[in-house]
């Protein structure tokens, strides 16, 4: 049973920081693309960042570039999202997503590129 388990969400004041984690379990294969998405109430799910696990290359949405950093610990099969200088508009449920495929170009921003998802963790910025 594949599981992606997020942790690290919470409430923070504007300008603060949080670090999200996503741990993979129950999957014996290798994910090539792992990403973070977020969804605010009444809005579509938005791609925030992706990391290609073999190369370590990353991409970010324009709304978080320069403030968020995605990284990985391959030995622990975990990815992270460090979020600095948080803004109220960053408030959302954040989801970890993964695929054994290569979510190239702008496809990485599309939720359909991923077939495994975590349960989500709430981030609230006031």
pLDDT at 26: 85
Q: Is residue 34 predicted with pLDDT exceeding 90?
A: yes
Average pLDDT over residues 97-108: 93
Between 26 and 47, name the one with better pLDDT.
Answer: 47
Rounded to whole angstroms, the Cα distance separating 92 from 104 reads 25
Q: Are strands 46-52 and 58-60 parallel, antiparallel or unpaired?
A: antiparallel
Average pLDDT over residues 111-123: 97
First to last CA, the chain: 37
Give the chain's mean pLDDT. Answer: 95
Between 98 and 26, name the one with better pLDDT.
Answer: 98
Residues of the chain by 3-state class (helix, strand, coil), percent to 5: 10, 50, 40
pLDDT at 2: 82
105: Cβ contacts below 8 Å, ≥ 6 apart: none
For 52-101, write each residue's pLDDT tens digit: 999 999 999 999 999 999 999 988 899 999 999 999 999 999 999 999 98
pLDDT at 29: 81
pLDDT at 9: 96
For 4-18, write each residue's pLDDT tens digit: 999 999 999 999 999
pLDDT at 23: 96
């Amino acid at each position: 049973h594949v599981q992606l388990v997020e942790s690290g969400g919470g409430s923070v004041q504007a300008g603060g920081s949080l670090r999200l984690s996503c741990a993979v379990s129950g999957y014996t294969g290798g994910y090539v693309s792992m990403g973070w998405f977020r969804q605010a109430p009444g809005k579509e799910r938005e791609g925030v960042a992706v990391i290609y696990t073999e190369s370590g290359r990353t991409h970010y949405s324009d709304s978080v570039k320069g403030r968020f950093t995605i990284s990985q610990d391959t030995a622990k099969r975990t990815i992270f999202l460090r979020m600095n200088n948080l803004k109220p508009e960053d408030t959302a449920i954040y989801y970890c997503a993964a695929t054994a495929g290569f979510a190239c170009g702008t496809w990485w921003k599309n939720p359909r590129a991923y077939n495994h998802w975590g349960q989500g963790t709430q981030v609230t910025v006031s």
